[in-house]
Amino acid sequence: MSLFRRRGRRLSVDEARARTGGDRPEAVLLDVREEFEWKAGHAPGAVHAPLTGLAGGAALPASAQGRPLVVICRSGHRSQQAAQLLAGRGADAVDVKGGMNAWAATGHPVVDERGNSGAIA
């Protein structure tokens, strides 16, 4: 059974964090922003797979394969595209409304490539 019952449903950042955090997360938080954005700041524990690569046919990182996906970008536009693309490939994927901008604005942690406090680029 799908973790995300309704096709096209968007998660709030709080729902996304609840489903992708903790010791035994239900889903993988998949960040589809570009490398420079990822390095500047991303959610702890997220997996990186830029939309440009996915659109070009790149495979998901091994840690995301076969798992439900919660897809995030900066504002929510690219993540919608990525979730649709991945669903078309058979993945169980939904996106996060408002993206990393909403994630940070809600006070959820953001780390840079070194694990220090990050920023949304």
Instruction: Indicate if 73 belongs to the active site.
Output: yes
Q: Listing from the earlier edge strand, what are the strands of the sheet with 69-72?
A: 10-11, 93-96, 69-72, 28-31, 47-48
- Burial (CB count <10 Å: 0-12, 13-18, 19+), residue 75: middle
Catalytic residue among 60, 73, 104, 110: 73
Q: Which residues are catalytically annotated?
A: 73
